Amino acid sequence: MPKTELIVVLFIMFFFTACATTPTGRTQLAFMPDQEVEAMGLQAFTDLKNEKPISQDEREKRFVQCVTDAITMQVGGAWEVVVFEDKSLNAFALPGNKIGVHSGLIDLVDNQDQLAAVIGHEVGHVLLRHSNERLSQKLGAQLGLSVIAAVAAPRTATGQTALGLLGLGTQYGLIMPFSRLHESEADNIGVELMAKAGFDPTESITLWVKMAQAGRGPQPAEFLSTHPSHATRIGDLQALMPKAKNLVQQARAAGRKPDCAKEH
């Protein structure tokens, strides 16, 4: 077989073996080794904990931990959650089961259900392997190998590029935007997760209304500026409600009734 034909055949084999199906049924190209992507998430989270102030407010920590435990119980695994002392409206989840919540977001939400909408959404990004997909789309296989090597040196230009594609720029602690498709998928999975955990899914709509209102001020809410929001988002959430309401009824019938109080 001529060399060029062999290359084409190998490329086609690589493409199809790298394809996977997401929980939403979409075909996804994600060829980066999951263990390496998780290692990048762990490195980024460690850097953040070293660089950003961590909240010492025990009430905030109990509230966030309670909501997170109820959500992650639906997906399994050990998840670490940290509340960062930061007044911006933000939260994120990284490969490797790491979750960060900014204190400003806790101030914004009215109840456990609204926080569950955010936590479920961010966990959805991890379950859907969005970071792996973004890395795979933006980086060629050869560059991907150099990125893996750059995990040990995240301050390098390549390392920062990789962490940005992962969803996090550790140098400034900024969360990079996911695509509109990824956001829609994360909304879908997030609403299902919160409903299965026993939270009120209708509060996801209230939460996004509050976020949109917060974004109309002189300084846009960070969560909105980094998580693209569209006029159709609330409409899409409303379309998910019939299924979500059935899920929460089943959850509560099974005894899943979270009681995470936001203490003032």
Do residues 196 and 251 touch, judged by C-beta distance below 8 A?
yes
**Domain assignment present for 162:** yes
pLDDT at 229: 54
pLDDT in tens, 194-239: 999 999 999 999 998 888 787 665 444 545 544 445 567 788 899 9
Provide CB contacts within 8 A for 201, sequence distance 6+: 113, 117, 191, 194, 195, 240, 241, 244, 245, 247, 248
pLDDT at 177: 52
Could you confirm whether 85 is annotated as catalytic?
no
pLDDT at 236: 86
For 252, the token pair is 């509560």
**Domain assignment present for 2:** no
> Containing domain of residue 53, as a range?
21-253
For 54, the token pair is 């961590």
Determine the Cα–Cα distance for residues 40 and 30; give it in Å rounded to an integer: 15
pLDDT at 175: 41
Taking 70 as the pLDDT cut, the residues of the chain under it are 1-32, 130, 133, 136-180, 182, 215-231
**Domain assignment present for 260:** no
* Spacing of C-alpha 76 from chain mean position: 16
pLDDT at 219: 46
**Domain assignment present for 261:** no
**Domain assignment present for 262:** no
pLDDT at 134: 74
Domain tally, the chain? 1
**Domain assignment present for 202:** yes
pLDDT at 35: 78
pLDDT at 145: 45
From 122, 133, 183, 203, the catalytic residue: 122
pLDDT at 48: 87
**Domain assignment present for 141:** yes
pLDDT at 44: 83
For 107, the token pair is 């101030």
In the beta sheet, which residues pair with residue 54? 84
Do residues 156 and 150 touch, judged by C-beta distance below 8 A?
yes
**Domain assignment present for 14:** no
